[in-house]
Amino acid sequence: NFNEPLQDYFRDATHFSEGVAFTVKTGGQINAINENGEILFSLSDVEEIYALSEGRAVYKDENKQFGLLDNNGQIVCSAKFDDCERFLKDDVLMVMQKDNSKKSKEKWGIVGRNGEVLIPIKYPKIVRYEKGFTIFNDSRKAAWYDLESNTVSSFDFYDIVRDGNMLCYKNKKGKYRWMSLKGVENMHPVYDEVTLFGN
């Protein structure tokens, strides 16, 4: 009805997610509030925070490092990543750490909701798709990390994506083909260009 439910004003705020918004007043610390404007908890040593997603919030500390908080404001993963996705999805988060000793300085991996490493943080590129990730290694070859089965294919491809109940991949010659989730080829022709079946 366009009435203002909260009469307070804030310098910055996230949207409400899972019943919580993070707010900050000028000169103040970050507070988590409920939809009545009541303070649930306050955060110290946190420079920036993003809205809750699946019971977790990505935060950035004073050293510009990223970590994870739970919906009670407790740290479940200390701030140790140089960059990451801003929201947890499917209970996993793509994270990055810089490696100045390597030719490719950015190394990506995937962690779980409490920061446990699911895919080592050592790959130059990872792309999220529905129900999984395409992981590229230093040789530019690709593997598929399937979220539903929590399995990783071998690095036998030059691109690979989930396509409904199949995987669509590109071979060394740049030709496209499909196979089942168990790796069984189910289309023999190869194609120069394709669209995806989806569902």
pLDDT tens-place string over residues 172-181: 999 999 999 8
CB 93 within 8 A of CB 58: yes
Instruction: Give the chain's mean pLDDT.
Output: 93
Q: How far apart are CA 192 and CA 87, in angstroms?
A: 35
Helices assigned H by DSSP within the chain: none
Q: Could you give phi then psi for residue 184, rounded to 5 degrees?
A: -90, 125
Q: Let me know: does 67 contact 77? Beta carbons within 8 Å.
A: yes
pLDDT at 160 over 90: yes
Q: Is the pLDDT of residue 187 over 90?
A: no
| pLDDT of 156 over the 80 cut | yes
DSSP element (H, E) containing 92: strand 92-98
Determine the pLDDT at residue 102. 65
- Order the strands of the 12-13 sheet from edge to edge: 12-13, 21-24, 30-33, 39-43
The pLDDT tens digits for 35-92 are: 999 999 999 999 999 999 999 999 999 999 999 999 999 999 999 999 999 999 999 9
- Torsions phi, psi for 169 (to 5 deg): -135, 165
Query: What per-residue confidence (pLDDT) applies to 185?
Result: 76
Q: Taking Cα atoms as reference points, which of 82, 133, 132, 75 lies closest to residue 105? A: 82
Contact 79, 60 (CB under 8 A): yes
